[in-house]
Amino acid sequence: MITVAAEPFAYSFPPGKTALIVIDMQRDFVEPGGFGETLGNDVSLLQAIVPTVAALLDLFRRKGWMVIHTREGHKPDLSDLHPAKRDRGNPSLRIGDPGPMGRILVHGEPGHDIIAENEPVPGELVIDKPGKGSFYNTPLEAHLKANGITHLVVAGVTTEVCVQTTLREANDRGYECLLIEDATESYFPAFKQATLDMIRAQGAIVGWTAPLAALEAAVG
């Protein structure tokens, strides 16, 4: 076991049974002209974590540990898009509409791609998900079970939406989750802070949090 100085107390993980899951580091959320911006957000806030996510990916790859990426998006015919999701709010462009990076949040469009700095390397699983959580309507749980994964190190965007939903889904399925504090970001700094606080409250009721430096120090 490797033990990380984490909050609310030390987090221990068995290296061979631990996967890194990087949530939705897609152009549609991180770059101007995508889904995040159509919702009225300042996407520049998310760019701060790109180097940290890259360093976290490097760490797992160096060690030969499992890496999984997710992408939020929908089939070109939008058959997997609930009207409740399409019609929510008042975005300047809706999911499926043409934008500067192609159709918003649609598979195969430039905006749906993972950003170049954090892109998958051959052999890494990429999970396409129609929801905010990574387990709903995806093969993620079957893949984790087939590979004996019991622990997840989590990163990506946005902290209180897809990252938190995934953490809660994973926690309910019995996975022990560590969220890397400086490898996740929100369009709303107060929501990021609140999410970190609520995840580790009540004795790690959802999971643990730690900065990347703490994980690096533990791994050596």
Q: Which residues are catalytic?
A: 24, 129, 162
Lay out the site mask for ligand TIU across 3-42 (x = CB under 6 A, - = otherwise): ---------------------x----x---------x---
Q: By CB under 6 A, is residue 157 in contact with ligand TIU?
A: yes
Are 185 and 48 in contact by the 8 Å Cβ rule? The answer is yes
Quote the least distance from Cβ 162 to ligand TIU, whole Å.
Answer: 3
Q: By CB under 6 A, is residue 162 in contact with ligand TIU?
A: yes
Site size toward ligand TIU (CB under 6 A) is 10
- For ligand TIU, the closer CB: 24 or 176: 24
- For ligand TIU, the closer CB: 65 or 184: 184
- For ligand TIU, the closer CB: 40 or 148: 40
Instruction: Please identify, among the stretches 76-84, 88-96, 155-163, 174-182, the one whose residues bind ligand TIU according to the rule CB under 6 A.
Output: 155-163
Lay out the site mask for ligand TIU across 63-92 (x = CB under 6 A, - = otherwise): ---------x--------------------
β 208-210/66-72 pair status: unpaired
User: Where does this chain bind ligand TIU (CB under 6 A)?
Assistant: 24, 29, 39, 72, 132, 157-158, 161-162, 187
